[in-house]
Amino acid sequence: MAAFPHLFALALAAAQPAPAEAATAARADSAALLELFDRVCLRGEDAPAGFAPVEWSAFPEPLRLLNTYDHAGTFLRSEAPTLTYVARTRGPAHMAAGVESRCGAAVRGADTRDVVARLARMTGAQVMPPMATGGMTMTMLMGDGAFTVYSTEDQWVIVRSLRMMIALPQRSERRRRGRRGDRN
């Protein structure tokens, strides 16, 4: 092939999907990712057929965002029609006394902007400006729930939700601490 570089370039171009086909496939992946996220994370249902349990250690490095604090949980993977990962975790809250539950799904090649727009419409959440950090882009959505969409350098798109139950001190403990509160 080195003697005929133009043939190599033609063969490579033929193997790549046309831009319109790639965009259509990315939007289809976006729709499938959000359908899965809605089912598993927002409605709390089981993952569809084809997902199998895997160890947390089997998740690729860029998907470690699905379990930032290394909590116990359910970790699933499906290879058909697209390699997809799901993680549901629950553990001690990292910022305050209480419990946090995180749920997320990831697929490679989805259209991040489409995912953010669809998630905003689906949840009624307000989209915050995206932030680029450490080889990825993070977009937060706030509303009736907190959501984050990550896009990594190697084209993983991760959608994650966070729910926290904060433990408030009892009234007698608040008084002991000298806080003003209920006077009843």
Q: Give the pLDDT confidence of 67-92 residue by residue, as tens digits.
A: 988 999 999 999 988 899 999 999 88
Mean pLDDT, the chain, integer: 83
Name the least confident of 84-98, 100-114, 135-149: 84-98
Name the least confident of 32-36, 67-71, 127-131: 67-71
Name the least confident of 46-55, 67-76, 91-100, 119-128: 91-100
- Model confidence over 164-180: pLDDT tens digits? 887 776 665 555 555 55
Cα gap 75→67, rounded to integer Å: 10
pLDDT score for 173: 55
Residues 6+ apart with CB under 8 A from 67: 56, 59, 73, 75, 87, 89, 102
The residues spanned by each domain of the chain are: 18-166
More confident residue, 125 or 82: 125
Which residue, chain included where needed, has tokens 């915050």?
A: 128
Q: Select from 25, 17, 74, 20 the least CA-distant residue to 45.
A: 74
